[in-house]
Chain A
Amino acid sequence: MSEPHRGRPDGGRAITGSGRSAAESRPPTPSRGASADAVLIGDAMTGGYGRGADILHECTISVDAGEIAVIVGPNGAGKSTAMKAVFGMLDLRQGAVRLKGEDITALKPQERVAKGMAFVPQTANVFTSLTVEENLEMGAFLRRDDIRRTMEQVYDLFPILRDKRRQPAGELSGGQRQQVAVGRALMTEPEVLMLDEPTAGVSPIVMDELFDRIIEVARTGISILMVEQNARQALSIADTGFVLVQGANAFTGTGKELLADPDVRKSFLGG
């Protein structure tokens, strides 16, 4: 990640060192900026839930190989919706989702799991009555090979889970549950891991630890796309940040750029 992305021409604002603006804007093309080599891209997505009004308006989200992309924005900006759209949990009226260049817009979420995507929902993301180990086994349900190695890797990443592996996941603390949830998703050995507010409802200390773990996961080559409420912290570990406002891209850039940008700071980070 070297070149910052340009925001959407319509309403999006480019954040670049030189402050280029609408003059350079072109109509959306399938491969803009660094998105050309994106592992996963939700390109100009427009759509909403069921037959309701559109929530996303030509929203573009992408993540590059082995990098962390973060979606931030005010409440009701469509962050989670954008994530769900990328995962196929709502129908797009326009736009496309591509995984490694392959158009997967028509695939169901389960089929996307088989293609190498994993999703950790914000709530109800563990099987509470199953033990930690069974949760991990269920994560690997689609795999027919030996899963013990992957399970060891998850236990190495989250050592506390090894101690609690015989305990029902419902008995664990919030932070530990999130670890189970992430662990479950990692069991498919995905290429892209999608996290919907992984730190919602956990203490600041646990949050820092979770972020550390997420960075560790990214270092193993897994691309991470996540939605976060804690914008400042999330952007500080992000390679790319997408600021959404009312279902459209408002700002796009590297995490550092967004943190340094006065407009972003003023509107979302509290100065």
Chain B
Amino acid sequence: MDFINGLITFLNFVAVPATAYGAQLALGALGVTMVYGILRFSNFAHGDTMAFGTMATILTTWGLQSLGVSLGPLPTALLALPVGIVAAIALVLATDRVVYRFYRRQRVVPVMLVIVSMGVMFVYNGLTRFAIGPDDRNFDDGTRFLISAGEFRRWTGLDEGLAIRSSQAITLATAIVVVAALFWFLNRTRTGKSMRAFSDNEDLALLSGISPERVVAITWIIVAALATVAGTLYGLDKSFQPFTYFQLLLPIFAAAIVGGLGSPLGAIAGGFVIAYSEVMITYAWKKVLGYWLPERFEPDNLVQLLSTDYKFAVSFAILVIVLLFRPTGLFRGKSV
């Protein structure tokens, strides 16, 4: 019985939150990896693209709420999501037109585009704060729990409870649908294949008559959609604050690089690797180990490897280790 109680504690405090967080990181990393694969630079503005899309979603959510529209048990934000996606698409396409295309025509080296994307990042950041303010916003208005700890205890008769918040379930379900759609698009459609071809060998893609501008535009559209979905899911699960989204850049990049830049499958795997590492290293294992270990080995401290304040150190450490020992990542992406 102790073992099961320990397992439930583990699921409740580690597996469930890490899975939801991993799905959010995976969606974010997919966007980063696609920009890297097609446009060949690390997009530092990605976190703030997420913030902008989420902001547009939140503003629309508020509008819908004031009109009395609601999805019942589901958060209204899901209804507002398409509007947020369209807003983010408009923003990145406009940015590409005004900023990136200029540098692309000059055929500048990738590092210059990275710096350019930093400038874009600051502008996006300002836009978002200007529109919604720097404060924390909670916009989840659906049912809070799919399964609450109390209910779980009552059903199973166990000492420990397993709570699954609806935002976590929605995150996972949405991520699965989005990823399936993305992979179907990339592997089955003519346009998707042309994007992979362009990413693989730009010169040969040109010789085959694939239009670079079209591929780039479609990439931005997909990236903006992924960023908005990832940002909204993260906001629903935790809360929305522009600065947090900027900070998310590090675990997202770590996820993309761990998986192998340019590899969509790698981005997903990387997202979960980073999320699980972060949660497991900052979790206080005392309770779980108390259940699992024989009584005399029971730890008397928290068994927390790192305080949660240092959670970004985890992604950073993983990033450094991967770059040192396997720069192409788990799925043999491009070396950075």
Residues of A at under 8 Å CB distance from B?
109-110, 113-114, 119, 121, 124-130, 134, 137-139, 141-142, 184, 188
Residue from A130, A141, A142 in contact with B196 in the complex, judged by beta carbons closer than 8 Å: A130
In the assembled complex, the CB of A166 is this many whole angstroms from the nearest CB of chain B, namely: 12
| Chain B at the A interface: SS class | helix
What CA separation (Å) do A121 and B207 show in the bound complex? Answer: 9
Residue from A110, A128, A129, A137 in contact with B207 in the complex, judged by beta carbons closer than 8 Å: A110
What CA separation (Å) do A54 and B30 show in the bound complex? Answer: 46
> Quick one: given A121-B203, A137-B190, are A127 and B209 in contact (CB under 8 Å)?
no
Interface contacts beyond A138-B210, A141-B208: sample of 17 additional A-B pairs, CB < 8 Å, sorted by A: A110-B206, A110-B207, A113-B208, A113-B209, A114-B209, A126-B201, A126-B204, A127-B201, A128-B200, A128-B201, A129-B196, A130-B200, A134-B196, A138-B193, A138-B197, A141-B209, A188-B209
B199 surroundings in chain A (CB, below 8 A)? 129
> B127 at interface (Cβ–Cβ under 8 A)?
no
Chain B 14-42, CB-CB to A under 8 Å as 1, else 0, gives 00000000000000000000000000000
In the assembled complex, the CB of B163 is this many whole angstroms from the nearest CB of chain A, namely: 42
Residues of B at under 8 Å CB distance from A?
190, 193-194, 196-197, 199-201, 203-210
Q: Is the CB of B207 within 8 A of A119?
A: yes
In the assembled complex, the CB of A86 is this many whole angstroms from the nearest CB of chain B, namely: 14
Q: Is the CB of B203 within 8 A of A138?
A: no
A119, A129, A138 interface centre (most CB from chain B within 10 Å): A138
The 13 listed contacts between A and B (C-beta, < 8 Å) are A119-B207, A121-B204, A121-B207, A124-B203, A124-B204, A125-B204, A126-B201, A127-B196, A127-B197, A128-B200, A134-B193, A139-B208, A141-B194
In the assembled complex, the CB of A151 is this many whole angstroms from the nearest CB of chain B, namely: 14
Residue from A124, A128, A129, A184 in contact with B208 in the complex, judged by beta carbons closer than 8 Å: A184
B190, B197, B203, B206 interface centre (most CB from chain A within 10 Å): B197
B197 surroundings in chain A (CB, below 8 A)? 127, 130, 134, 138
In the assembled complex, the CB of A106 is this many whole angstroms from the nearest CB of chain B, namely: 17
What CA separation (Å) do A138 and B199 show in the bound complex? Answer: 13
4 closest Cβ contacts across the A-B interface? A142-B209, A127-B200, A138-B197, A129-B200
What CA separation (Å) do A68 and B208 show in the bound complex? Answer: 23
In the assembled complex, the CB of A270 is this many whole angstroms from the nearest CB of chain B, namely: 34
> Quick one: given A121-B203, A124-B201, A124-B203, are A130 and B193 in contact (CB under 8 Å)?
yes
In the assembled complex, the CB of A172 is this many whole angstroms from the nearest CB of chain B, namely: 14
What CA separation (Å) do A225 and B190 show in the bound complex? Answer: 30
A109 surroundings in chain B (CB, below 8 A)? 206-207
Q: Is the CB of A138 within 8 A of B205?
A: yes
Q: Is the CB of B193 within 8 A of A110?
A: no
A139 surroundings in chain B (CB, below 8 A)? 208
What CA separation (Å) do A114 and B206 show in the bound complex? Answer: 12
A130 surroundings in chain B (CB, below 8 A)? 193, 196-197, 200
